[in-house]
């Protein structure tokens, strides 16, 4: 009897640990653009300190799902989200949640590098400044340097921090945008096809960066490249026609998927 209780307690604890290891939980998430429904009751959880890749053919809703995670869909007038998404257990669509605070915790890197037409330094210091993260100039200098270091860009730009961020190469610009996102110290980083506008060498650098960032951040990445998903992620979710087809360990997903549609997509039979 006593043993049973202990086992039950252990199980409950395990359950609790599992819940905690989910950084974000999406339950029955549906998205509508006006009359058109783009996502159908998606249940997808994002694990702490893990890279989760979202794959699927164009228009399958993977970017839409990604954008619900930090409410970037709010900027589209006709967009409506139903269901429940939590970050550390708090519903992010709760009216009590400040979207500004949410986006500081869930940062985003976009498909096309979009540095501000300001200096490299100002690009990085932009986020910390609006959130009041630095108390002095030296604080700010440290944040800028640390962010650029982490993004692996410091050695390339340390002598030209005052030059315009738009003057960098495409790959450098994207790493600048990642550094810009890191500077706000987010807990989750969302990446929407971050390498689709980059050449293979720049892509390799960004992938290496994603790999390193995993120890400190939870990362969700949308990608069209199956190889990239296989290289950078531990968990993979496959979307098709607005529905979540399968979510699994990346290794299993690419060797022995549960769903036939995943198999077909990975083998290149459609998409």
Partner 1 sequence: MTTSTLLLITAAIAMIGYLAGSRRALALAGGRSSSMHSRPGYYGSFVAIWSALPAALLLGVWLIAAPAIINSSIRGEFPAEVKAQSQASQGLSFGMIEGIARGMRALSAEEAAQAERNPADLRNLMAARGVAIAGDPEAYMIKAANDLNSMNARSDLLRNVAVLLVAVGGAALAYRLIAPRFRARNRVESVILASLVVASSIAILTTVGIIASMLTEATHFFARVPAHEFFFGTVWDPRFAAAGATASEGQFGLIPLLLGTLYIGFVAMLFAVPIGLFAAIYMSEYASQRVRSITKPLLEVLAGIPTIVYGFFALTTVGPFLRDISSQIHGLATGDYSNFIQAQSVLTAGFVMGIMLIPYVSSLSDDIITAVPRALRDGSLGLGATRSETIKRVVLPAALPGIVGAILMTASRAIGETMIVVLAAGVAARIQLNPFEPMTTVTVKIVSQLTGDLEFTSPQTLVAFALGITLFIITLCLNIYALYIVRKYREQYE
Site residues, partner 1 (CB under 8 A): 70, 72, 75, 77, 100-105, 107-110, 112, 114-118, 126-127, 130-131, 166, 177, 180-181, 184
- What span, in angstroms and rounded, lies between the C-alpha atoms of 229 and 235? 9
Backbone angles phi, psi at 25, to 5 degrees: -125, 125
Q: Looking at beta carbons only, is 84 or 118 nearer to partner 1?
A: 118
- What span, in angstroms and rounded, lies between the C-alpha atoms of 99 and 93? 9
User: Residue 70 CB, nearest distance to partner 1 (Å)?
Assistant: 7
Q: How far is residue 179 from each of residues 165, 199, 247, measured CA to CA in Å?
A: 12, 19, 29
Q: Looking at beta carbons only, is 120 or 181 nearer to partner 1?
A: 181
User: Residue 120 CB, nearest distance to partner 1 (Å)?
Assistant: 14
Dmax over Cα atoms in the chain, in whole Å?
71
Q: Looking at beta carbons only, is 192 or 246 nearer to partner 1?
A: 192
Q: Looking at beta carbons only, is 22 or 110 nearer to partner 1?
A: 110
Q: Which of 222, 260, 231 is nearest to 44 (CA)?
A: 222
User: Residue 230 CB, nearest distance to partner 1 (Å)?
Assistant: 27
User: Residue 126 CB, nearest distance to partner 1 (Å)?
Assistant: 7
Residue matched to tokens 């022995």:
256
User: Residue 259 CB, nearest distance to partner 1 (Å)?
Assistant: 32
- What span, in angstroms and rounded, lies between the C-alpha atoms of 250 and 229? 8
Q: Looking at beta carbons only, is 182 or 238 nearer to partner 1?
A: 182
Q: Which residues pair with 52 in a beta bridge?
A: 220, 235
The token pair at 140 is 């700010």
Q: How far does the chain reach from its first CA to its final CA, in angstroms? A: 55
User: Residue 91 CB, nearest distance to partner 1 (Å)?
Assistant: 18
Q: Looking at beta carbons only, is 25 or 108 nearer to partner 1?
A: 108
User: Residue 166 CB, nearest distance to partner 1 (Å)?
Assistant: 7
Strand order in the sheet with 235-240: 106-109, 188-192, 218-222, 51-55, 235-240, 243-249
133-139, Cβ contacts within 8 angstroms, sequence gap of 24 or more: 133/183, 133/184, 133/185
Q: Looking at beta carbons only, is 104 or 253 nearer to partner 1?
A: 104
């Amino acid at each position: 009897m006593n043993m049973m209780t202990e086992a039950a307690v252990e199980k409950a604890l395990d359950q609790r640990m599992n819940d905690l290891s989910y950084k974000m939980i999406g339950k029955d998430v549906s998205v509508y653009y006006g009359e058109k429904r783009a996502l159908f009751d998606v249940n997808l959880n994002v694990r702490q300190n893990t890279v989760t890749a979202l794959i699927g053919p164009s228009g399958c809703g993977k970017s839409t799902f990604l954008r619900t995670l930090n409410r970037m869909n709010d900027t589209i007038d006709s967009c409506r989200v139903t269901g429940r998404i939590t970050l550390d257990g708090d519903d992010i669509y709760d009216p009590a949640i400040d979207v500004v605070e949410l986006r500081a915790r869930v940062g985003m890197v976009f498909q096309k590098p979009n540095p501000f037409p300001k200096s490299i330094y100002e690009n990085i210091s932009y986020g910390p400044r609006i959130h009041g993260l630095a108390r002095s100039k030296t604080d700010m200098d440290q944040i800028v340097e640390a962010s650029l270091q982490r993004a692996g860009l410091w050695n390339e730009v340390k002598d030209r921090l005052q030059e315009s961020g738009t003057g960098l190469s495409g790959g450098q610009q994207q790493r600048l945008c990642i550094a810009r996102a890191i500077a706000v110290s987010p807990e989750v980083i969302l990446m929407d096809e971050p390498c689709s506008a980059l050449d293979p060498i720049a892509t390799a650098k960004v992938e290496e960066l994603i790999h390193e960032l995993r120890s400190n951040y939870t990362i969700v990445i949308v990608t069209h490249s199956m190889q990239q998903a296989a290289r950078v992620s531990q968990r993979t979710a496959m979307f098709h026609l607005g529905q979540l087809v399968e979510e699994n360990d990346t290794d299993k997903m690419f060797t022995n998927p549960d769903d036939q549609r995943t198999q077909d997509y990975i083998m290149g039979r459609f998409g």
